[in-house]
Amino acid sequence: MISVSTAKALVKQHVPLMPAGQVKLEAADGLTLAEDIKAPLALPPFDQSAMDGYAFRFADWNGSPMKIEGEQAAGTAAVNTLVTGTAMRIFTGAALPAGADTVVMQEKTTRDNGLLTITDEQLVEGTNVRKVGSEVDKDVVAIGKGTTLLPAALGLLASMGITEVPVYKRPQVSLLITGNELQTPGIPLVHGQVYESNSYTLRAALQRAGINDINIIPVKDDPDQVESAISSAIGSSDLVLLTGGVSVGDYDYVVGAAGRAGIETIFHKIRQRPGKPLFYGRHSKGIVFGLPGNPGSVLTCFYEYVYPAICAMMGKDFEQPVITAVLQRAYSKPADLTCFVKAGYDGKSGVMPLDAQESFRLRSFAVANALIKLEEGKTEYLAGEQVEVHPIPM
Ligand SMILES: Nc1nc2c(c(=O)[nH]1)N[C@H]1C(S)=C(S)[C@@H](COP(=O)(O)OP(=O)(O)OC[C@H]3O[C@@H](n4cnc5c(N)ncnc54)[C@H](O)[C@@H]3O)O[C@H]1N2
Ligand code: MOO
């Protein structure tokens, strides 16, 4: 069995980067740039007024009223030229007339009989003018490779007239749900059956990570069926997640079947709770996680291992932010395991372990917003101690 830190390092070391491709801006939210994007034009593309007011040449203004001549509205293609010594009516976003270099906002003026008096004491040359290229110059890198595209970045790209971007693709995911005892919600249970819930948890968690190409396949606890399900899933997806069947029971076939399907084992079993029997393997076509079937283990392993792996596949430099907070009550754990404890984090300084931590249950997880990482080698944590907190990432 390996430690949590070794397991995390191995996940990172063996994660493949998804191929890059051009994606329409509308579909690029949350994806990561595979190349630098250079500005195809200067932004703003011309000197612009930042205010509704009057444009003039600062050197022409001697404090006396100026004649108002002409008007420049936003979107006007014609280049109006300022008559020397006059001011031109102008609106926010409009191109500065040729010859003007300064704009006074209309609230800081008075207007009488076609004459403009400027009352703005602070005015200097260039006030309220957005200079051409002041946001970004043509041909310089506007957004660098490795940037994850969030709403502002998408807006910036659109403002440069860009319609498609080179990004790392999202992985296609197969969910292989093993277990003869599982029944689909909506169908009455017979004794010994339980409702299948892991696919609901994982589908939602994947969708929140931006992944929608998810194929869910129920698989019987049969070595040949598990093997052929893994073989076909690895051929058609980049990431295969199995749930159940990774422990030591007579019907736990996942690890052996993965080997026969050509998956190289990177690790199996971590000194952690929950999720001790986690399996991680790789193939030239993708990676495989065998998530321990208990619903709480599935989700903990998703947040701690699968989600970082997905980020890395998509070119995101995912590092768990190191947040510490004060433990609000004492907590005991086995010495030989790292424990991930479902918790309520107040977002500032305090974190409260929740009741009912067993991995077969989800009630505490359903209201948790964080996992506390309690290190191996220690059994008793006291109220008031600083502990590492992993906010649930999505
Ligand atoms: N002798 C030992 N037994 C077990 C050990 C061990 O070290 N020695 N480890 C325990 C731990 S820890 C875990 S975690 C589980 C993991 O077992 P498996 O991955 O083989 O999972 P299953 O046995 O198939 O299922 C465990 C549990 O979860 C329920 N389950 C499974 N899939 C689903 C699903 N899709 N939806 C809802 N519930 C599901 C299943 O019915 C079982 O109750 O092994 C321990 N045993
Ligand atoms: O490690 Mo298991 O996930 O505790 O139940």
pLDDT of residue 318: 75
> Would you say 51 and 93 are in contact if contact means Cβ atoms under 8 Å apart?
no
pLDDT(125) > 90: yes
If you average pLDDT over residues 135-146, what whole number do you get?
97
Cα–Cα dist 255/251, whole Å: 11
If you average pLDDT over residues 274-280, what whole number do you get?
97
pLDDT(113) > 90: yes
Q: How confident is the model at residue 78 (pLDDT cuts 50, 70, 90)?
A: confident
Cα–Cα dist 298/182, whole Å: 15
- Domain positions in the chain are 4-18+170-313, 20-43+135-168, 48-130, 323-391
CB 194 near ligand 1, within 6 Å? yes
Q: Which amino acid is at 311?
A: C
Cα–Cα dist 287/289, whole Å: 7
**Residue to substitute in 294, 300, 337, 359 for testing ligand 1 pocket (most ligand atoms within 8 angstroms of CB):** 294
pLDDT of residue 248: 86
Return the closest-CA partner of residue 71 out of 104, 97, 106, 102: 97
Q: How confident is the model at residue 322 (pLDDT cuts 50, 70, 90)?
A: confident
Q: How confident is the model at residue 393 (pLDDT cuts 50, 70, 90)?
A: confident
> Would you say 18 and 31 are in contact if contact means Cβ atoms under 8 Å apart?
no
Superfamily of domain 48-130: Molybdopterin biosynthesis moea protein, domain 3. (2.170.190.11)
pLDDT of residue 217: 98
Q: Which residues contact 353 (CB under 8 A, 6 or more apart)?
A: 327, 328, 329, 331, 341, 342, 343, 372
CA of 143 to the centre of ligand 2 (A): 43
Q: Class of the 20-43+135-168 domain? A: alpha beta
If you average pLDDT over residues 30-50, what whole number do you get?
97
Return the closest-CA partner of residue 175 out of 199, 205, 194, 197: 199
CB 278 near ligand 1, within 6 Å? no
Return the closest-CA partner of residue 92 out of 126, 130, 65: 130
pLDDT(32) > 90: yes
Return the closest-CA partner of residue 243 out of 274, 211, 289, 210: 289
| Count of residues making up the chain | 394
Q: Ligand 2, residue 301: give the atom nearest the CA.
A: 3
If you average pLDDT over residues 25-33, what whole number do you get?
97
Q: Class of the 323-391 domain? A: mainly beta
Cα–Cα dist 294/277, whole Å: 11
CB 269 near ligand 2, within 6 Å? no
Tokens found for residue 118: 């400027």
pLDDT(67) > 90: yes
CB 376 near ligand 1, within 6 Å? no
CA of 24 to the centre of ligand 1 (A): 42
- Opening angle at CA 98, ends 95 and 101, nearest 5: 80
H or E, element range at 300: helix 295-301
Q: How confident is the model at residue 20 (pLDDT cuts 50, 70, 90)?
A: very high
| HSE-up of residue 157 (Cα within 13 Å, Cβ side) | 25
> Would you say 301 and 204 are in contact if contact means Cβ atoms under 8 Å apart?
no
Q: For the chain, give the mean pLDDT.
A: 96
pLDDT of residue 69: 96
pLDDT(377) > 80: yes
pLDDT of residue 251: 85
Pick the CATH number of 4-18+170-313 from 3.40.50.720, 3.40.50.300, 3.30.470.20, 3.40.980.10: 3.40.980.10
pLDDT(321) > 80: no
Q: How confident is the model at residue 263 (pLDDT cuts 50, 70, 90)?
A: very high
pLDDT of residue 319: 79
pTM: 0.92
Cα–Cα dist 317/35, whole Å: 15
Provide the ipTM.
0.98
pLDDT(394) > 90: no
Q: How confident is the model at residue 293 (pLDDT cuts 50, 70, 90)?
A: very high
If you average pLDDT over residues 218-222, what whole number do you get?
96
Return the closest-CA partner of residue 381 out of 333, 345, 339, 342: 333
If you average pLDDT over residues 324-343, what whole number do you get?
97
Q: Classify residue 370 by burial, with Cβ atoms within 10 Å: 0-12, 13-18, 19+.
A: buried
CA 213 to chain centre: 17
pLDDT(320) > 80: no
- Dihedrals phi, psi of 148, to nearest 5 degrees: -85, 130
CA of 318 to the centre of ligand 2 (A): 25
Cα–Cα dist 320/147, whole Å: 17
Return the closest-CA partner of residue 330 out of 341, 322, 321, 320: 341
Q: How confident is the model at residue 334 (pLDDT cuts 50, 70, 90)?
A: very high
Q: How confident is the model at residue 149 (pLDDT cuts 50, 70, 90)?
A: very high
